[in-house]
């Protein structure tokens, strides 16, 4: 039996990697249930919903404009 709540490291392993978990969080697909100084906890059912979206062919795109640097693509 798997736990209902997962810490950030375990949640990253559950979805594949911590970078993908960060992309999902930045895209607004998932929010932590608890977020304190050294403790971030996610629901396993929320992670399952995000994995279903990945299986359907979606990929998390960041909602914030500041997450991408336009200067990186500009030609001087």
| pLDDT tens track for 11-56 | 999 999 999 999 999 999 999 999 998 899 999 999 999 999 999 9
Asked whether residue 67 is assigned to any structural domain, the reply reads: no
The structure tokens 């795109």 sit at 61
Asked whether residue 45 is assigned to any structural domain, the reply reads: yes
Nearest to 21 by CA among 41, 2, 58, 47: 47
Q: Which domain holds residue 45?
A: 5-56
Asked whether residue 68 is assigned to any structural domain, the reply reads: no
Order of strands, edge to edge, in the sheet holding 34-35? Answer: 5-7, 40-43, 34-35
Nearest to 18 by CA among 7, 34, 29, 5: 7
Q: What pTM was computed for the model?
A: 0.75
What's the domain count of the chain? 1
């Amino acid at each position: 039996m798997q736990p209902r709540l997962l810490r950030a490291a375990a949640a990253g392993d559950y979805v594949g990697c911590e970078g993908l978990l960060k992309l999902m969080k930045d895209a607004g697909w998932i929010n932590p249930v608890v977020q304190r100084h050294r403790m971030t906890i996610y629901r396993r059912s929320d992670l399952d919903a995000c994995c279903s979206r990945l299986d359907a062919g979606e990929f998390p795109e960041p909602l914030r404009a500041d997450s991408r640097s336009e200067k990186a693509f500009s030609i001087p």
